[in-house]
Amino acid sequence: MTEHVPGAPPEHLHHWVVTLSCADGPGIVHAISGAIVAARGNITESQQFASLDTGNFFMRLQVESSAGRDEFEAALAPVTERWNMQWHLDEVGRPLRTLVLASTAGHCVNDLLFRQRAGQLPVEIPLVLSNHGTLRDLVDFYGVPFESLAVTDAVSKATFERRVLDAVDQHDIELVVLARYMQILSPELCAALEGRCINIHHSFLPGFKGANPYRQAHSRGVKLIGATAHFVTSDLDEGPIIEQNVVRVDHSRSPGELVAIGQDEESRTLSQAVKWFAERRVLLDGVRTIIFR
């Protein structure tokens, strides 16, 4: 293990990432580690958490092994079956197929595409879908296909959402990112994408309801503004929280300046959340996220 870094095992080795969850109880870790040994695996990273809220057990492992997928799954099967686990096996570093939905604001889209190209984000974005054409040039530059479909009424909204689901099938999408996509998803789409759709929105202390929250934050003299990345549920801004950041502001900031500051927080917070998700570091425990950083 000491001659090489995780993610770059010797030629003949696979580098697996395993995530699993089940009802907590004694002996789980021993059973899992036994299966890893049986698969000639060497654990290079391991995190676990037992939730007192739900009684569930969560684990994330990175394992180097000469065993291929079939052999590795076969070694894990007795344990995952006995403990009735939800589990997932993947290659460390495999780019996650990610669909990006956008509207007119470019800051989050640019940040995601730049990090993908810079190799900072293990995602593969086959398509950016927008309800406006504004960002076509930006997306083109990064060599990513771009489609726009206007959303002006119930009918065009339904068309847009059908296109989203088609794209998900067509490209085997594993994650849908709302990169300042300013439409509320229908409950049906939220349900269809549950647990694999991430949204970003601004955050304030205290929170503000209704239109133009930056103007409200300004008139209220808020000292901190930030952003929250969360899973999408039918209740748009209330899904399980993945990541949050804030930055300090003062009375002299205009609403316009607050918007610019907030956009920076949105970009870096969304990219961080997507990175953790793509690395299989985000697990769901009811309405909470477990983040294995």
**Binders in 32-91 for a second copy, by CB under 8 A:** 33-34, 36-37, 40-50, 52-55
Q: Which is nearer to a second copy, 31 or 165 (CB)?
A: 31
Residue 88 CB, nearest distance to a second copy (Å)? 19
Pick the catalytic residue from 24, 237, 264, 285: 237
Residue (of 123, 116, 119, 171) closest to 147 by Cα position: 171
What is the C-alpha to C-alpha distance for residues 224 and 228, in angstroms, rounded to an integer? 13
Phi, psi of 269 (to 5 degrees): -70, -40
Residue 285 touching a second copy (CB under 8 A):
yes
Does 260 bind a second copy (CB under 8 A)? Our answer is yes
Residues in 149-208 that interact with a second copy by CB under 8 A:
203-207
| DSSP tag of 184 | P
Exactly one of 74, 82, 141, 191 binds a second copy (CB under 8 A); that residue is 141
Beta-carbon count within 10 A of 99 CB: 22
Least spacing, CB of residue 16 vs a second copy, in Å? 14
CA 261 → CA 13, 119, 267, distances in Å? 45, 25, 10
**169 given a catalytic annotation:** no
DSSP H helical ranges for 171-254: 187-192, 213-220
Closer to a second copy by Cβ: residue 96 or 261: 261
Stretch that binds a second copy, among 13-21, 81-89, 110-118, 176-184 (CB under 8 A): 110-118
Compute CA distances 34 → 28, 153, 173, whole Å.
Answer: 10, 56, 33
Q: Which of 157, 196, 268, 281 binds a second copy (CB under 8 A)?
A: 268
Query: From the CB of 202, what's the least distance to a second copy, in Å?
Result: 10
